[in-house]
Chain A
Amino acid sequence: MRDRTVLHIEDNEYNRKIVRQLLSRTSYRLLEAADGEEGVAVAQRELPDLILMDVQLPKLSGLDATRMLRADPRTAKIPLVVVTSFALSGDDRRAIDAGASAYLAKPYSPRDLMALIHRFLPEN
């Protein structure tokens, strides 16, 4: 069985670095995309086991990208966590409405993010 793959769609290099570091000591394979369009393309090509989607992305917003992936039968069932910017702005509800499996508000605790990844995708 191949290592389970996580796709991280996030335009901020520092936030990508955090997830890279978090997953570096695990068996997960990590893919990255820096904007919404690229994220959708990589998801459709690689069919990852879990998607982490930032809400504010260039080219295609995280919510629109989520809706596109949900509309595509190949990616419709992949667990998808939307990372929202501010807990209070109502993004969490919009994320669930767009089809997210769960949301996590920034600034998140890396521990909480790791727990969420493990919940949707137990390590091999």
Chain B
Amino acid sequence: MLNAILGFTEIMLDELYGEVPPNLREPLVDIQTNGRHLLRLINDVLDLSKIEAGRLELGVDEYSVQEIVDVVHTSLKSLAIEKGLAFSVWVAPDIPTARGDGRRITQCLMNLAGNALKFTRQGRVEIDVRLDDGWLTYRVTDTGIGIPKEEVENIFAEFRQVDTTITREYGGTGLGLSITKRLVELHGGRIGVESELGKGSRFFFTLPLRTDGGVA
């Protein structure tokens, strides 16, 4: 159904049905924006319900850490440029081929880096990955709004954005962090955050370099 909603909207905007009257262009873009948001929400709810039901299976394969970081960097670069933020990535040069669900790990890093860019008004966002003793640590550091101390422990719970005005101002489904946490745990890893209000946040997750999936 969303395929039809988003599809018809796009072909109307591309004027396949003829010229779009100027006063209709904005509401059509509004349908598109909200349709895409609904799609994200549906995907997140589906992911979470699969995880809750123990039905989410990792698609384990060999993957390249550098490739994951590059995909996330490329996908989010335009958002960083739009907001005037510095956005850099660094991957330790000695990391061999890793094993896990590369697509899900990309989703995790995309969630964290997307949040960092969303909640940072000025300054920078950095992604770095290093390897210690067979464990990979992915870190996303920002100079954003930070998280109040009393909220840090709830930040990975479902529907837990710090307050409802955040949903209005920054968008998002409120499910990204809890999905990320569960996906990291499915890999036998763990996730954490350090944050200072007004200064910025650093989210990180640690995974075994090679894993066929653990028990969440």
Expressed in whole angstroms, the Cα–Cα distance for A15 and B8 within the complex equals 9
Is B103 an interface position by the 8 A CB rule? yes
Expressed in whole angstroms, the Cα–Cα distance for A12 and B3 within the complex equals 10
A15 touches B4 (CB 8 A): yes
For A22-48 the 0/1 string (1 means CB < 8 A from B) is: 101100000000000000000000000
Q: How many chain-B residues does the 8 Å CB contact rule pick out?
A: 18
| Interface segment out of the listed A57-65, A71-79, A103-111 | A103-111
Expressed in whole angstroms, the Cα–Cα distance for A12 and B1 within the complex equals 9
Is B197 an interface position by the 8 A CB rule? no
Q: What residues on A are CB-neighbors of B10 within 8 Å?
A: 109-111
Looking at chain A's contact residues, is the secondary structure mostly helix, strand, loop, or mixed?
helix
Expressed in whole angstroms, the Cα–Cα distance for A15 and B4 within the complex equals 6
A106 touches B16 (CB 8 A): no
CB distance from A16 to the nearest CB of B (A): 10
CB distance from A28 to the nearest CB of B (A): 14
Q: What residues on B are CB-neighbors of A111 within 8 Å?
A: 10, 14
For B1-18 the 0/1 string (1 means CB < 8 A from A) is: 111101110110010110
Given A86-B46, A110-B10: A18 and B4 interface contact (C-beta under 8 Å): yes
- Say which residue of A21, A22, A88, A107 sits within 8 Å of B2 (CB atoms): A107
Q: What residues on A are CB-neighbors of B8 within 8 Å?
A: 14, 18
Nearest chain A residue, comparing its CB with the CB of B3: A107
A14 touches B4 (CB 8 A): yes
B interface vs A, CB < 8 Å? 1-4, 6-8, 10-11, 14, 16-17, 39, 43, 46-47, 59, 103
